[in-house]
Amino acid sequence: MDKRLFVIIKKELLRVFTDRRLVFTVILLPGLSIAVIYSIMGMVVGNIEDERSVHKYLIETYNAPSSFVEYVEESPYDRVNLNEVSSNADLEGSKEKLVDENIDLVLVFDNGFDQELGEYENLNIPNIDTYYNPINDYSQDARGYIVNGLLQDYKISIVGERLGNVEYTNVFSVDLENYEVSVAPEEKLVGTMLSRFFPILISIFLFAGAMGIGMDMVAGEKERGTMATILLTPVKRETIALGKLVSLAIVAVVTTFSSVLGIILSIPFSSKIFGEAISINKMMFTPGQIILILITLLILVSIYVGLIILTSVIAKSVKEAGSYIAPIYMVVLISGVLAMLGGGETTMVKYMIPIYGNIIVLQNIFSFDMNLIYFLVNSISSILLTTVLVLIIRKMFYYEKYMF
Amino acid sequence: MIEVKNLTKIYQISKKEQKKNKIKKDQVKAVENVSFTVNPGEIYALLGPNGAGKTTALRCISTLIKPTDGEINVNGFNDSEKVRENISFLTNELKLEDHFSADFTMNFFGGLRNMTSEKIEERKSYLFDILGIKGFKNKKIADLSTGMKQKLGIAVSLIHNPDVIIFDEPTNGLDVLTAKIVTDYLMEMKRKNKTIIISTHVMRVAEKLSDKIGVLIGGHVVMEGTLEKILLETNTESLDDAFFKLYEMYGEQDG
């Protein structure tokens, strides 16, 4: 191997890592901003959830039967604040209050509700109309709390009265003493959680981290006239191209590491966003998994770096490179979203599509669900694409049309 | 030794550039059938107005761009990498990375030329001394003046002690003192039997330095020879007059 490759890599890395502005914006800022943003988001989401979990629901009732009012007073449903409205004519007013978010729910009981309950043998079934505002979180919660909780229990208590003993309503129990309902291994559970967002985030961070530096590495150097000075040395053009590719890959990995570190640091505060099951000490990967993850990441980095350097070679300026790279960034984002949405049958073709396939592979590895054949198919198709990209870049480094 | 035989360079103009510059031609002949030879121990000056093709010719010789036609041999080589090993090419278009110091830049280019650390140190010491770079060798290039950058550019281009030196407008933008350092250095290199080509539109520099002059107008060498020969053939008394006379004869046709 030409030792001048290392001279180029050293220069490129020093250019990035000895520039305080670049170190801050490219390496520290992504991790720092992710840690801060996710922590704040996590805390805000947590606070909202905490607030929602203790909120007392304001409910306006019409014709609320005494049996219901008494049941509510004695039941453990203590987050209910009932307000009986005297006239049915005020219903429109109550609906307005729902829209204005002044109350959370309206319950309209049939007239003579209790009486109809008593005449159940005649199959008279009284009705309760509910009104809520789905735009208002509290209203939505209130409906769930009342319709799926309180009214169901109220119904059971009535059936109990009819049977003479409320215990008779207990037909069977489910998982009474079964404390191991989930048979999924904990690491697989955590892995599945992680696979939902981690591969997509890593993919986006990798591309975003490499994008700025990559545009400057070739297009910027051409624009500033420093590339021609290097091209005048007897170093082979492919060595220069390879030096740029390897350096950018290293920078991309470092920035991604920073971003991932940012996520990890934010986990104690952001569990409400990513799911309670995720915590640092539960991130236990097997050595095999780690190797597969590293191989896939390396392949993904190669594709991204190849695409970025290719656009940088075609462009005459950083600005032009930016306009070429934007659609590729969109492809990266769309691939991530499609992979996150998932669905559909697992087919070989999916794994053959670079970027999208790589993200799916990462998801599969994280969730302990990797089929080695699919992994190989994805690796081979990605390596083929990378090889084609590198060959095109190498060829273009010899074209004066692109290099000057 | 540099041998240029029938050098022709045609630039293709893309449709985008044609539209941008409002031109109909899809190609431009920058130089056509240019031939000359420069021997070791000689300074050859390519003289010509802006756009005559001087820089294109030098870029072809230095392998930065490929000739459309013709042959170029540098010290017997026409293979790009071999040529680059043997030459130094300095032009205003070539810039150095602002972020690095003069010292690092020299190490970097020495490394790219496969030089050992000892050899790089030796050349750095010599060039920094002769070009007066020592005082700012650790400063970032971004903080250097134009003259300092020019000096460093010369030092970088000469780090490998090449046999062939190609300087495009070597004194352009330099103050009188720095320009003298450069011209003195070129004279010293000539004495050391190096093959040197310079391009210039400053007649005084050509008169002072060159052994042979090639007058390039409209992409053609319209006259070539020693200063005395050119003065004799144009029946003039100074290179200035000779140049204007040749430009009147050939420049009008070209324009």
Residues B199-227 have pLDDT tens digits of: 988 888 888 899 999 999 999 999 999 99
Q: Give the residue among B195, A180, A271, A217 at the shortest CA–CA distance from A263.
A: A271
Does B152 or A88 have the greater pLDDT score? Answer: B152
Contact B66 A400 (CB under 8 A): yes
First to last CA, chain B: 33
Gap between the Cα atoms of A201 and A270, Å rounded: 15
Q: Count of CB atoms within 10 A of residue B143's CB?
A: 10
Going by pLDDT thresholds of 50, 70 and 90, the confidence category of residue A273 is low
In a domain, B13, yes or no: no
Tokens 């075609």 -> residue: A314
A362 and A202 in contact (C-beta within 8 Å)?
A: yes
Angle (CA) B181 B109 A311, round 5° = 120
Facing residue for B64 by CB, picked from A11, A235, A404: A404
Contact at CB, A4 and B112, closer than 8 angstroms: yes
Helix (H, G, I), strand (E, B) or coil at A296: helix
Q: Across-strand partners of A81?
A: A58
Residues of A in contact with B66 (CB under 8 A): 400
Question: Where does residue A288 rank: exposed (0-12), middle (13-18), buried (19+ CB within 10 A)?
Answer: exposed
Q: Which residues contact A47 (CB under 8 A, 6 or more apart)?
A: none
Question: Would residue B30 count as lying in a domain?
Answer: no
Per the DSSP assignment, residues forming a β-bridge with B220 are B217
The dihedral formed by the CA atoms of A186, A191, A196 and A198, expressed in degrees to the nearest 10: 140
B254 has a pLDDT exceeding 70: no
Of A18, A225, A236, the CB nearest to B95: A225
Residues of chain B with C-beta less than 8 angstroms from the C-beta of A247: none
Residues of B in Cβ contact (< 8 Å) with A15: 97, 99-100
Tell me how close the Cα of A298 comes to any Cα of chain B, in angstroms: 28
Distance from CA of A218 to the nearest CA of B (A): 13
C-alpha to C-alpha distance for B59 and B53, rounded to whole angstroms: 10
At B106, which CATH number? 3.40.50.300
Average pLDDT over residues B122-148: 92
pLDDT tens readout for residues B86-106: 999 988 888 999 999 999 999
Q: Are the C-beta atoms of residues A213 and A278 closer than 8 Å to each other?
A: no
CB-based contacts of B223: which residues, under 8 Å, 6+ apart? B214, B215, B230, B233, B234, B246
A8/B112 CB distance under 8 A: yes
- Cβ atoms of A263 and A345 within 8 Å: the answer is no
Alpha helices in B88-163 (DSSP H): 102-112, 117-131, 146-157
**Mean pLDDT score, A10-15:** 95
Q: How confident is the model at residue B17 (pLDDT cuts 50, 70, 90)?
A: confident
B65 lies in some domain: yes
Closest residue in A to B100 (Cα) is A15
Whole-number pLDDT of residue A218:
95
Q: How far apart are CA A351 and CA A257, in angstroms?
A: 25
Rounded Cα distance, B172 and B200, in Å: 8
Contact A15 B100 (CB under 8 A): yes
What is the rounded average pLDDT of the residues A125-149? 94
B81, B99, B104: residue with CB nearest A234: B81
Interface contact flag, A228 B94, Cβ < 8 Å = yes
Instruction: Tell me which residue has tokens 């109350």.
Output: A103
> Which of B81, B96, B113 has the CB atom closest to A229's CB atom?
B96
Mean pLDDT of the region B114-138 = 93
pLDDT tens digits for range A41-61: 888 888 888 888 889 999 999
- Does the pLDDT of residue A104 top 60, yes or no? yes
Give me the residue from B89, B99, B108 closest to A7, CB to CB.
B108
Q: B55 with B92: CB under 8 angstroms? A: no
Answer whether residue B255 shows pLDDT above 50: no
Nearest chain A residue to B90 by CA distance is A229
For an interface test with B, give the residue of A223, A233, A244 to mutate (most B CBs within 10 A).
A233
C-alpha to C-alpha distance for B175 and B172, rounded to whole angstroms: 9
Q: What's the pLDDT band for A168 if we cut at 50, 70, 90?
A: confident
Whether B85 has its CB under 8 Å from any CB of chain A: the answer is yes
Q: Is residue B22, in this structure, part of any structural domain at all?
A: no
Element (H, E) at A16: helix A4-17
Buried b (16+ CB within 10 A) or exposed e, B36-59: bebeeebbbbbbbeeebbbbbbbb
- Contact of B17 with chain A, judged by CB distance below 8 Å, is answered with no
Give the chain A residue nearest B96 (alpha carbons): A226
pLDDT at A278 over 60: no
Looking at the predicted structure, is the pLDDT value of residue A205 above 90? no
Q: Which band of pLDDT confidence, cut at 50, 70 and 90, is reported for residue B138?
A: very high
Name the DSSP letter for residue A25: I
In a domain, B9, yes or no: no
pLDDT of the residue at B111 = 96
- Amino acid letter, residue B78: N
CA dihedral over B19, B25, B29, B30, signed as positive or negative: negative
At residue B15, the 3 state secondary structure works out as helix
User: Do the Cβ atoms of B120 and B110 come closer than 8 Å?
Assistant: yes
Please tell me the distance from the alpha carbon of residue A240 to that of residue A243, in angstroms, as a whole number.
5
Partner A contacted by B99 (CB < 8 A): yes
Strand B27-38: give its sheet, edge to edge.
B27-38, B2-12, B69-74
Please give the residue range of the domain that contains residue B94: 36-254
Report CA-CA distances (Å) from A5 to A2, A32, A242, A310: 6, 32, 7, 19
CA pseudo-torsion sign B111, B114, B120, B124: negative
**B65 touching A (Cβ < 8 Å):** yes
The better pLDDT of the pair B22, B156 is held by: B156
Q: Which of chain B's residues have a Cβ under 8 Å away from the Cβ of A229?
A: 94-96, 109, 156
Residue A4 touches partner B, C-beta closer than 8 Å = yes
Task: Give me A398's structure tokens.
Answer: 């010899």
Domains of chain A, CATH where assigned: 4-41+186-403 (no CATH), 52-169 (3.40.190)
Q: A202: how many CB neighbours lie within 10 A of its CB?
A: 21
Query: Within a domain: residue B121?
Result: yes
Please state, in angstroms and rounded to a whole number, the distance separating the CA atoms of residues B49 and B208: 19
pTM: 0.81
Give the mean pLDDT of A248-269.
Answer: 84
Please check whether residue B15 lies inside any domain of the structure: no
Element (H, E) at B3: strand B2-12
A230–B111 C-beta distance less than 8 A:
no
Please indicate, yes or no, if residue B12 is contained in any of the structural domains: no
Secondary structure of residue B127 in the 3-state scheme: helix
Residue from A11, A23, A237, A402 to probe the interface with B (highest B Cβ count within 10 Å): A11
B26 vs A93: which has the higher pLDDT? A93
Cα atoms in the 13 Å half-sphere on the side-chain side of B232: 6
pLDDT value for B127? 93
Question: Which backbone phi and psi does B66 adopt, to 5 degrees?
Answer: -95, 140
Contacts of A236 in chain B (CB under 8 A): 81
- Please give the span between the terminal C-alpha atoms of chain A, in angstroms, as a whole number: 27
Mean per-residue pLDDT over chain A, rounded:
88
CA distance A205 to chain B (A): 26
Q: Give me the count of residues in chain A.
A: 404
Compute the distance between CA of residue B255 and CA of residue B251 in angstroms, rounded to an integer.
Answer: 6
**Beta carbons of B111 and A7 less than 8 Å apart:** yes
B13 touches chain A (CB under 8 A): no
Domain count of the fold of chain B: 1
Closest CA to A265 of A32, A45, A41: A32
Cβ A19–B99 below 8 Å, yes or no? yes
Q: Per DSSP, what are the bridge partners of residue B2?
A: B38, B74
